[in-house]
C-alpha cells in the first residue's frame, strides 16, 4: 500500500521506450515487445500506451487500440488482431471497441494492484471516448497444470470454473474479472504460451455509460473511486 501512492501513471512517450523494453524482457522473456513494436504502437495511437513508474523506473505498461466489433469473428490470434503487436494496421481510429494489446508488470512489483490500476486507465479511455465496450485476450496460466490433473476437461468448461468465493479458478481470468470483464470464448493458438496451452480467452466488458452525457466526469469519478478501493485492498 505504501508503494501504491508513489506510482506515477502517465502516457508513454518515445523517451520511455528504453525503460519499457527492459520491463517487457523481464515480464515476458523473449516474447516481450521490442523497441520497434513499442515505437510503432506509440506512433499509431499515443493515448493507447500508458506506463506506471516508480522512482523513475518503468514498472508497468499497458497498451490498447480501437477495433470494430469482433464478437462474431471466427478464431483469431494475438498477432492477427494487433498487427503482430505493432497496431499500425489494426488500430481503427473510429473503431467502437477497445482491444487490449498488452499488460506487463515488473516481476518484483506484482500483487500491488499496479496491473489493475493500468487496466482502469483503459476503461477510463473507453468511457471518455464513448466506446461500446472493451475486449482483451486473456492468458489462462493455470490451465496446463489443471489439464494434467483433469485430462478430460475441455477448455470451454475450464474457463467457466469458479472457486467457492465466486472468483474464477484461473488467475488470469480472475484479474480481468476484478474489473468486470467476463469470458466470451476460448481462442486456440492465440499466443505461444505453454501454461495456457497456447489458448487465449476473449474477455469483455460492456460500457454501461455509452452515449451518456458528462462522460469525462463519470470516468474520472469511477476511476478515482476504484483507486481508493484498490489502495486499501
Ligand atoms: C498479470 C499481471 C499483469 C498482473 O499484474 P499485478 O500488478 O500483479 O496485478 P494486480 O496486483 O492488480 O492483481 C493481482 C491479480 O493478478 C492475477 N495474476 C497474478 N499472477 C498472474 C499471472 N502470472 N498471470 C495472469 N494473472 C495473474 C491474479 O488474479 C491476482 O489476483 P489474486 O490475488 O486473485 O490471485 C502480471 O502478473 C504480469 O505482468 N504477468 C506477466 C504478463 C501477463 O501475463 N500479462 C497479462 C496478459 S493477458
* Domain region containing 167: 4-231
Which residues touch 227 (CB under 8 Å, ≥6 apart)? 117, 120
Q: What is the mean pLDDT of residues 76-99?
A: 97
Measured CA to CA, the distance from residue 128 to residue 131 in angstroms comes to 8
Q: 191-228, pLDDT tens digit by residue?
A: 999 999 999 999 999 999 999 999 999 999 999 999 88
Beta strand pairing call for 133-138 and 97-105: parallel
Q: What's the CA gap between 141 and 92, in Å, rounded? A: 30
* Residue 48, CA distances (Å) to 72, 115, 152, 232 in order: 24, 15, 40, 27
* Res. 1: pLDDT tops 60: no
Q: Mean pLDDT, to the nearest integer, of 171-196?
A: 97
Average pLDDT (107-112) is: 96
Which residue has the CA at smallest separation from atom 33 of ligand 1? 111
Q: How confident is residue 3, by pLDDT bands cut at 50, 70 and 90?
A: confident
Region 2-27: what's the mean pLDDT?
A: 92
pLDDT at 2: 59
Ligand 1 site, residue 173, Cβ cutoff 6 A: no
76: domain CATH number is 3.40.630.30
For ligand 1, whether the C-beta of 103 sits within 6 Å is yes
Which of 4, 107, 111 to mutate for ligand 1's pocket (most ligand atoms within 8 Å of CB)?
Answer: 111
Measured between alpha carbons, how far is residue 29 from residues 1, 23, 32, 67, 229 in Å? 28, 10, 6, 28, 32
220 alpha carbon – ligand 1 mean position (Å): 24
How many domains are there within the chain? 1
The protein residue with its alpha carbon nearest to ligand 1, atom 26, reads: 172
Q: Residue 162: its pLDDT value, please?
A: 98
The lowest-confidence range among 1-5, 34-38, 76-80, 220-224 is 1-5
pLDDT of residue 64: 98
Query: E strands along the chain, which residues?
Result: 8-11, 49-54, 57-67, 97-105, 133-138, 182-187, 200-206
Q: Which atom of ligand 1 is nearest to the CA of 117?
A: 12
CA of 92 to the centre of ligand 1 (A): 28
Residue with cell 469482433: 70
Spatial distance between the Cα atoms of 99 and 95, rounded to a whole number of angstroms: 10
Residue 114 CA: nearest ligand 1 atom is 7
CA proximity to 200, closest of 116, 81, 24, 119: 81
Q: How many A from CA of 213 to the centre of ligand 1?
A: 34
- Exposure on the CB side of residue 99, measured as CA atoms within 13 A: 29
Q: Rounded to the nearest whole angstrom, what is the distance from the C-alpha of residue 115 to the centroid of ligand 1? A: 7
Mean pLDDT of 154-172: 98
Q: Which atom of ligand 1 is nearest to the CA of 138?
A: 48
- Cα–Cα nearest to 173, from 182, 164, 165: 182
Closest to 61 (Cα-Cα) out of 110, 100, 7, 115? 115
Q: What is the pLDDT of residue 90?
A: 98
Q: Is the CB of 32 under 6 A from ligand 1?
A: no
Amino acid at each position: 500500500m505504501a508503494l501504491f501512492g508513489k506510482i506515477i501513471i502517465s502516457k508513454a512517450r518515445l523517451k520511455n521506450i528504453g525503460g519499457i523494453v527492459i520491463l517487457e524482457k523481464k515480464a515476458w522473456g523473449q516474447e516481450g515487445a521490442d523497441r520497434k513494436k513499442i515505437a510503432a504502437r506509440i506512433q499509431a495511437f499515443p493515448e493507447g500506451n500508458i506506463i506506471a513508474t516508480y522512482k523513475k523506473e518503468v514498472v508497468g505498461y499497458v497498451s490498447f487500440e480501437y477495433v470494430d466489433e469482433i464478437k462474431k469473428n471466427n478464431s483469431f490470434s494475438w498477432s492477427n488482431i494487433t498487427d503482430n503487436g505493432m497496431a499500425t494496421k489494426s488500430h481503427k481510429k473510429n473503431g467502437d471497441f477497445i482491444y487490449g494489446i498488452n499488460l506487463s508488470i515488473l516481476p518484483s512489483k506484482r500483487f500491488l494492484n499496479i496491473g489493475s490500476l493500468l487496466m482502469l486507465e483503459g476503461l477510463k479511455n473507453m468511457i471518455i471516448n464513448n466506446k461500446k465496450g472493451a475486449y482483451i485476450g486473456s492468458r489462462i496460466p493455470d490451465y496446463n497444470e489443471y489439464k494434467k490433473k483433469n485430462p478430460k476437461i475441455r477448455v470451454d468448461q475450464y474457463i467457466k470454473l469458479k472457486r467457492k468465493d465466486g472468483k474464477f479458478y484461473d488467475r488470469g481470468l480472475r484479474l480481468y474479472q476484478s474489473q468486470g470483464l467476463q469470458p466470451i470464448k476460448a481462442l486456440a493458438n492465440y499466443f505461444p504460451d505453454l501454461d495456457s496451452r497456447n489458448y487465449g480467452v476473449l474477455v469483455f466488458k460492456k460500457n454501461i455509460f455509452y452515449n451518456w452525457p458528462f462522460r469525462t466526469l463519470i470516468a474520472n469519478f469511477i476511476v478515482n473511486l476504484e483507486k481508493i478501493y484498490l489502495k486499501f485492498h
